[in-house]
Every structure is written in C-alpha cells, then in structure tokens.
Structure 1
Amino acid sequence: MRAARALATLDEVELGDHVCWRLQAPGVLHEDAWPYVADGALYGDKIVIVASGDPSSSASFDEGLRPPGTVVLDLPPSTDGDGVLAAVRREARTAAREGFRAVRVLTERKPVTAPGATEELLAQELKLDEFAAESGAMVVCAFRPSEWNGFTLEHVTSVHPHEMGTRAQRPAFRMYCTGSDMWSVDGVIDSEGAPAFNAAARAAVRGTSTVTLRFDRLEMIDAAGMHALLDAARHRPGRRIVIQGANETVRLVWELAGYAGADLPVVMAA
C-alpha cells in the first residue's frame, strides 16, 4: 500500500511514486534531474518531459543529454489537467508496446495567476497521482519556491505523497491515491490546514459523483477541517464524499459536531 515519505535524493524514486521536488535556487533543472534521468536509462524506463510551453524546462536536455526514446511533450500553458494526463497516458501505452519497464515523467511547474488556477493545478496533480498509483509510473514535479506563493505551494505539496528538497516543515496532512476514486488522508487537519484540505477535496470531486477518503492514517480533524470537507462536497451539487477507516477520536468529534446521521453529502461509513 502506498505511504507518504520524504526522499533524500532522486535515486530513491520508486515505481508508483509521485514526488513534489522543491528545487534549490538557482539550480539548473537538467543538471539536478540527471540522476533521475540516468536511472531511467539504466532500468529500461522511458523518459517523458512535460515542457508545458516553457523552453527553459526542456531546452537543456537537447544538448545530447537525452537517453534514447526520450519524449518531450511541449504542451501549451493553457492545457488543462485532462489534456496533460491524456498526453502522458498515451506515452505510457506507447512505452509498454516498445518494451520499456515504465515511464519516468519529469515536469517543472510554473505558477499561473488566472482565476481558478490553483484548483485546476490541484486537480491536475491528483490525476497524475492516480496515474502513478495505477500504472506504476514515476512522476516528479519540480517547483522553485521563490516563484510560488507560499500558500499555493503548501496546497500543492499536500497532494503529493512523496517530497524531496528543503522546506521549513512537512505539510500538516497529505492526500494521495490508493484506489479508483479513493484517496488516503494522513496527518492532522486543523484550522491552519483546512484551506488546503478544502482545495484538495474540491479538486478530487470535480470529475466523479462519489469520492472515498480513507482516514486510517488521519490523526485528527477539528471543526475547521470538517467544515472544509462539507464545503468541498457542497461546492459541486450532486457530489458525495464517503469517509472510511476513521479512528474513534475522529468519529467522536464528527458525532459531537452533529454530523452523524444528518442528511449531508459527506458520510462517515461504519
């Protein structure tokens, strides 16, 4: 079963991992990512670089540094999550036919300030995480903290089960794929982490009518976290969130808040 963990180096990336890599400025992506790319050639993996319309994210790999079979997806910045995922899935299918063990996806994320951009980014990351979990692909998403709003980067980090790079502290919670329309949530969701949890839950329910959240590893959720959960389900009418595996403390708080048995779009399953 997948579990959240921190990585010291890219050599530790394993099949099915989805890594939030916080780059140390002013690092050069192709130099810092070379161990990840080189291991792909060693283990028989196909390298897929998602350029997202930014020449700087892939140009340096043009200088004779790409292993055979490397593919660069030069997608327009406006490409939505479905478009990115479809392109990556196509390459994964092709890689399987060509005899590669798996695909290694590398992309440097760039901030977008358009309305709704944060939720769109989170939805895209959740889809990539689901893809990694179900296919065994490795996905490394690189972020330069100096370019990002701190709150947005915290939101994004929370939907990656694996993390590498320096940071002040781990996010209070992580949400990551453990099955079809099923997401494991670990850590603590309090007033500080509630906005990020709300954004992640909203993104998760965008494309399906029912989402299951596994709370087996969730230590605690307070009133702010519960409100964030309900708000996410109500944000898109017709959506339903089912909670499974909650511990006794979480169940007790849920009942004391008056949510047990209520006609709500969030259900605490037995």
Structure 2
Amino acid sequence: MATFDDVELGDHVCWLTDSTDTASADVRAYVADGALYGDKIVVVGSVSGLSRELVPSASVVLDFPPVADPDSILAAVHREARSAVREGYRSVRVLTERVPASAAGGAEELVAQELRLDEFASENNAIVVCAFRTSQWDRPTMEHVAGVHPHEMGRRAEHPAFRMYSTGVDSWGVDGVIDSECADAFNVAVRAAVRFAPEVKLRFDALDMIDAAGMHALVDAARHLPGRRIVVEGANETVRLCWELAGYATTGMPVVMAA
C-alpha cells in the first residue's frame, strides 16, 4: 500500500515508519478518513503523532500500559466493534502502535497477537493498522511480523517471502514462497496459530512453493503442542508430490495434506 487511501474494510496493515513528521500527517489522515466514512475510531494505547486533541470526540481511546494482557486488549476491541454496530457506524477503524515492551513473550507471542488481530479484522470487516517504528525493532522480529500482515505500508528493504492471513475461523491462507530463508518465520507463525484451536486449516491455494525446510517447519510447528492437527487444503500437485516423497504422508502425522 502506498498510502492510507488504499486501505479498505477488512484490511490488517503493518505500517513501518520512522519519520515523526510523516507519521503525524499520516495518522491525522487515517483518523480523518475514518470520520468521513462513518467509522468508529478506536485508538489502542499511545500512538506517536496523535494527540488527544486530534482524536474526534466520538472516538474511543483504550488506555493500556505497554505491557498488557493481549486477551484484555482483544476483548476490548471486540466490545467496541459490537458497540459500533449498535451505534450505527459503518465499521471500526483501529490504530495501535506496537512497542518492544508489548512483545515480552518474544516473537511468537507478538505473532500470535497479530494473527488474532487479523482474524478480528476479517471477521468484523474492520480496519486494523499496527504501527511499528523500525528503529525500535530488530530485523528478524520485523520479518516475523511482516509475514502475518496481509498488507503493509511504509519503507522496508524487501517484501516478506510469504504471508499468512485469516480466511475464517481457525483457517489461515498462505501465499508466496516458503524456503530455508523464511522457514523459521513460517514455523513461528504456525506455532502461534495452533495455540488457538486443536485443529487448524491452512489454505495453500496461493502458495507458489514450499521446500524441504518449509515442510519440516510445518511438521515441527504441529508437534510443538500436544494434540494439535493441521489440515492443509488447496496445495498444488507438485507440493503434494513433494510431501509424499519426503515421507510425511504417513498415518499418525499431525499434518494432513488433503487432496
């Protein structure tokens, strides 16, 4: 995405920025567009470039400390989405700035939070923008984070090799390429997803390729927690053949490659 003008309902955006002046202007535009289109503005915590004076009076500011229970934050956002429907808004437009303190549990915890926000945006036809100041984060963490946002805005050296995004309850689409360079990030994303349910679905319809390292990462993620099962649907013929040749199409394997 080039600007917030491209943001649509249902989008979950990773916004990478470091310029305070640009951030302030973009934040104001995002909030103003929300008011123009009849969206309820929900600001989570403190966002750089957005003072209380710039927040429309009808907006909601959810004050949470930098280290807060993710479940509490998500529950509060869901409450505001339900209220928005009753109050006649078109949708909710969420803005939150992620800071390293919010990732106290490491990259996997942060990725799990982002996946749940993506599920929220998809299910509620909401807009969620997560701002990251790149100077505050190490590159590996940002690579993990970028892969679980369907959209991104701002400057980065290269786009993530794969993206994982909500396609329904306990269902995640995967596109791009999963190879040895991004297998670790893919493993973290899948491990985060299987936290939510004993069985999850991965849609590979848009996946171009997954190599041996990627397949190992998938199986390892399924085995990370006991009693987990992953059903892969939509894989092309080449991916299914490679899966069989690698010896993964066996009874008792926690990952099932559906025809």
TM normalised by structure 1 equals 0.92
Aligned-residue sequence identity (percent) comes to 67
Where does 1:46-61 land on structure 2 (aligned, <5 Å)?
Answer: 46-51=40-45, 55=46, 57=47, 60-61=50-51
| 1:207 equivalenced with 2:196 (yes/no) | yes
Q: Deviations over 1:81-120 (max 9, x none)?
A: 3221101001111111111110000011101387632111
Gaps in structure 2 of 5+ consecutive residues: none
Taking the aligned partners of 1:231 and 1:161, their CA distance within structure 2 comes to 24
> Is this contact kept in 2: 1:194–1:224, CA < 8 A?
yes
Aligned partner letter, 2:17: L
Where does 1:143-158 land on structure 2 (aligned, <5 Å)?
Answer: 143-158=132-147
Aligned partner letter, 2:138: N
> Is this contact kept in 2: 1:58–1:72, CA < 8 A?
no
Taking the aligned partners of 1:120 and 1:37, their CA distance within structure 2 comes to 28
**Number of residue pairs matched by the alignment:** 259
The corresponding residue for 2:243 is 254
Deviation, 1:168, is 1.1
> Is this contact kept in 1: 2:103–2:109, CA < 8 A?
no
| 1:240 equivalenced with 2:234 (yes/no) | no
| 1:16 equivalenced with 2:16 (yes/no) | no
Q: Deviations over 1:16-71 (max 9, x none)?
A: 000001113344644321111111110110100111xxx4x2684212x1123111
Gaps in structure 1 of 5+ consecutive residues: 1-6
> Is this contact kept in 1: 2:199–2:228, CA < 8 A?
yes
Tell me the C-alpha RMSD between the 2 structures. Answer: 1.5
> Is this contact kept in 1: 2:20–2:49, CA < 8 A?
no
Aligned partner letter, 2:44: V
> Is this contact kept in 2: 1:172–1:193, CA < 8 A?
yes
The corresponding residue for 1:3 is none
| 1:33 equivalenced with 2:23 (yes/no) | no
| 1:107 equivalenced with 2:96 (yes/no) | yes
State the 4+ residue runs in structure 1 displaced beyond 4 angstroms: none
> Is this contact kept in 1: 2:27–2:50, CA < 8 A?
no
Taking the aligned partners of 1:176 and 1:45, their CA distance within structure 2 comes to 23
The corresponding residue for 1:196 is 185
Q: In structure 2, which of residues 234, 255, 258 is the aligned counterpart of residue 266 of structure 1?
A: 255
Taking the aligned partners of 1:84 and 1:223, their CA distance within structure 2 comes to 38
Taking the aligned partners of 1:113 and 1:124, their CA distance within structure 2 comes to 10
TM normalised by structure 2 equals 0.96
Q: In structure 1, which of residues 111, 114, 117 is the aligned counterpart of residue 106 of structure 2?
A: 117
